[in-house]
Amino acid sequence: MLNERMLDLGKRSSVIREIFEYGNKRRAEIGAENVFDFSLGNPSVPCPPAFNETLKQFLDTVPAESLHGYTSGPGDLAVRKAVAADISAKFGVDAPFDLVYMTCGAAASLCITLNALAEEGDEVIAFAPFFPEYRVFTETTPAKLVVVPCKSSDLQLDFDALEKAITPHTKALILNSPNNPSGVIVPEADVVRLAALLNEKQAAYGTDIFLIADEPYRPLVYTGEPVPYLPRYYDNTVVCYSFSKALSLPGERIGYIFVSPACKAARDVFAAVCGAGRALGYVCAPSLMQYAVARHLDDTADIHIYEKNRTMLYNGLCEIGYSVIKPDGAFYMFVRSPEPDAGAFCEKAKQYDLLLVPSDSFGMPGFVRIAYCVKPEMIERALPAFEKLFREYR
Amino acid sequence: MLNERMLDLGKRSSVIREIFEYGNKRRAEIGAENVFDFSLGNPSVPCPPAFNETLKQFLDTVPAESLHGYTSGPGDLAVRKAVAADISAKFGVDAPFDLVYMTCGAAASLCITLNALAEEGDEVIAFAPFFPEYRVFTETTPAKLVVVPCKSSDLQLDFDALEKAITPHTKALILNSPNNPSGVIVPEADVVRLAALLNEKQAAYGTDIFLIADEPYRPLVYTGEPVPYLPRYYDNTVVCYSFSKALSLPGERIGYIFVSPACKAARDVFAAVCGAGRALGYVCAPSLMQYAVARHLDDTADIHIYEKNRTMLYNGLCEIGYSVIKPDGAFYMFVRSPEPDAGAFCEKAKQYDLLLVPSDSFGMPGFVRIAYCVKPEMIERALPAFEKLFREYR
């Protein structure tokens, strides 16, 4: 009587959400300050104050029927031009405004792009660990998801595994750097190698393979090194961006898709993006937020807090004895579970009111994800609990 | 190399958009005041001033990280409770908050609902004339669209045609009242008859048939009579609402889905809605707008202007000699084309800089749609042009 897949997706609540609900229960029982909830990637840092000032200025000065009116389907023209100019200035690539499509956030960007590209029989490659909704989004298209695990030593790309996974059916790869859930950034040398491999496979198979750059965490980097901008390295690239994490606006659902003009038949790729936007009901991203982000393309929320958290948490956990993959970006840390079953480890952690996410849901067992986009005080107070937990394994 | 359907959808720009682009060209050539553009359903009336004040108040008083933070997937709890209480108070139906799902506007509401319900082999019935994207949204699911034309005399439901169209494969009907593009409202007697027919067919086939109430125009009514609220008449009803037209916020993409608790397995229907929201990338509707609409559930933009336009245009066109379906709601008027080919009539109208939409794109030939959500002055100045145009047919 209902669509079985949708019913199943709706009933199967995500692991992260279950932990979050458990956290709500515990907060009510013992007080919020005693629950060390590292489960959610909800930024703890406010948006730049100037952003809210911009919103108020628009509300005061722009006629309401135009401020809240429909923009054109792919977004407001001036906004698209501003985004394109920003891409061009920041990354030194050609960025025509009419290859920019404003979207309702990162999930929308990915869903639209995947639906624009995927046909029956296609394969889309994701690198584990990966954001679990990649599977949901991909399986909504006619394509199937192929998972290529990263090297468990450093969670970097495993080129041997990747080479074997690319087939004549490979339509796209999703690369998420800085990565959720690991915080790992793919270094330039690996991007170059990836581009060479994809070019080689395209030539060998006579196919087109698209690289989908999912990069909501691009500005959240702590190494001082820029994250390689994929359109500079590989022609068939589509960038999916969201302002959620950079400007701390996750609830506002605003982002964009940029089809690199170097893509084969780039205008057709963009037309397919427009078509998928229509088919999924996504034309015209939220107008007020479109106008506002266009004024804050160079701003970010105060990410120093995340940087401070990262240092404190990484050093603290290493001192205790945990084995941690040092994150270079985003606000997630991947820690090896001291026992093989990360789920069992997370259950033990709950006894210390430490709420962690087992890595199985990210397609790679044996780790836990710690979302450190929290108040620094929480990390300070959580470290003794992490220590007690670790003692159980000595 | 690309998804052919999406490419086709992206390339085939809508008739309405083409007319709008032509209008832009003419406005540049002869001045905006000389182009009588009745093509777009973009409200000309601003949102209630108090709505913008609410936005500013939230920006001034709510911590930014929470105001712009993720709400839970189906929407903020307090917002869902406010919407449910409003439904219950206005329409006298049971409305549990946990059957309310906040969405990113009307298109999102419909796409999510259709994807939640439709399975391979299903049929979804739309009554012509209908909003053209119904076909696009339906054909993105495994179902196919079945069109049942309304009676051409008054554009009301044709029960003979409908009875023949309902089969054991019918999963849902989309009812849009007040209607875009005709402005027609389905009267209570017809709603009662429709409910009886659907109950009879459900019993005969042993199936469940859902009524999808697409009602963004609900508050825009000029008869003084309330529009029948479908959950009061038929159990298997899902309401798709948007605040776009009621509050003049079309660009902000905010609305909701309400699964009537009388639906068979209502909790499962809601779970499938949640699943479809995930699958299409729609969880968590824009947060600031969620909070704001919850404060303005009883407000509308000043719809008296539309009422004034309706009277002036209807009387004016009738005096000239046009045959007009009198609209009871929304801000559209359906006028019979004086020649059989409405497209040819619209081309002639262009010579007088009257921009009208031929009804073929709404699934019913022989009419034009006039969107009268314009400044009243435009109607005044357009009537002489309508008269000159009509003379060509005498």
B333-360 pLDDT, tens digit per residue, is 999 999 999 999 999 999 999 999 999 9
**pLDDT in the model for residue B9:** 95
**pLDDT in the model for residue B14:** 75
In chain B, what residues touch A60 (CB-CB under 8 Å)? 56
| pLDDT tens-place string over residues B169-209 | 999 999 999 999 999 999 999 999 999 999 999 999 999 99
Residues in chain A: 394
Nearest-by-CA chain B residue for A48: B64
The string of DSSP codes covering B294-321 is: HT-TT----THHHHHHHHHHHHHHHHHT
Cβ atoms within 10 A of the Cβ of B61, count? 8
CATH class of A51-294: alpha beta
Question: What percentage of chain A has pLDDT greater than the value 90?
Answer: 94
Q: What is the mean pLDDT of residues B2-19?
A: 89
Residue B165 corresponds to which tokens in the numbers above?
A: 């169209």
Q: What is the mean pLDDT of residues B43-63?
A: 97
Report whether pLDDT(B21) > 90.
no
The answer to whether the Cβ–Cβ distance between B281 and A279 falls below 8 Å is no
Confidence of residue B41 (pLDDT cuts 50, 70, 90): confident
B256: closest CA of chain A, how far (Å): 14
CATH class of B50-294: alpha beta
| pLDDT tens-place string over residues A200-213 | 999 999 999 999 99
| pLDDT tens-place string over residues A279-301 | 999 989 999 999 999 999 999 99
- Indicate the residue of B2, B51, B272 with minimum beta-carbon distance to A2: B272
**pLDDT in the model for residue A138:** 98
**pLDDT in the model for residue A377:** 95
A223: closest CA of chain B, how far (Å): 25
Confidence of residue A21 (pLDDT cuts 50, 70, 90): confident
Nearest-by-CA chain B residue for A47: B64
Q: Which range (A108-112, B22-26, B244-248, B284-288) has the least confidence?
A: B22-26
What's the whole-model pTM score?
A: 0.97
In contact, B152 and B366? CB cutoff 8 Å? yes
**pLDDT in the model for residue A214:** 98
| pLDDT tens-place string over residues A195-253 | 999 999 999 999 999 999 999 999 999 999 999 999 999 999 999 999 999 999 999 99
In chain A, what residues touch B137 (CB-CB under 8 Å)? 279, 281
- Indicate the residue of B49, B272, B278 with minimum beta-carbon distance to A3: B272
Question: B220 touching A, CB under 8 A?
Answer: no
Q: What is the mean pLDDT of residues B110-132?
A: 98
- Can you give the residue ranges of every domain in chain B? 4-48+301-391, 50-294
Question: A77 touching B, CB under 8 A?
Answer: no
| pLDDT tens-place string over residues A162-190 | 999 999 999 999 999 999 999 999 999 99
Q: Which helix (H) or strand (E) holds A357?
A: strand A357-358
Question: What percentage of chain B has pLDDT greater than the value 90?
Answer: 94
Distance, CA of A214 to CA of B284 (rounded, Å): 19
Residue type, B258: F
Residue A369 corresponds to which tokens in the numbers above?
A: 């994800």
Q: Which helix (H) or strand (E) holds B51?
A: helix B49-61
Distance, CA of A289 to CA of B251 (rounded, Å): 10
**pLDDT in the model for residue A17:** 78
**pLDDT in the model for residue B40:** 86
Residues 172-211 of B with CB under 8 A from A: 207-208
Confidence of residue B149 (pLDDT cuts 50, 70, 90): very high
The three-class DSSP label of residue A360 is helix
The string of DSSP codes covering A263-302 is: STTHHHHHHHHHHHHHHTT--S--HHHHHHHHT-TT----
Question: A47 touching B, CB under 8 A?
Answer: yes
**pLDDT in the model for residue B317:** 98
Report whether pLDDT(B18) > 90.
no
Q: What is the mean pLDDT of residues B95-111?
A: 98
The three-class DSSP label of residue B343 is helix
CATH hierarchy code of domain A4-48+301-391: 3.90.1150.10
Distance, CA of B226 to CA of B214 (rounded, Å): 16
Q: Which is more confidently placed, B13 or A319?
A: A319
The answer to whether the Cβ–Cβ distance between B208 and A117 falls below 8 Å is no
The answer to whether the Cβ–Cβ distance between B272 and A140 falls below 8 Å is no
Pairing of strands B210-214, B170-175: parallel
| pLDDT tens-place string over residues B315-335 | 999 999 999 999 999 999 999
Question: B288 touching A, CB under 8 A?
Answer: yes
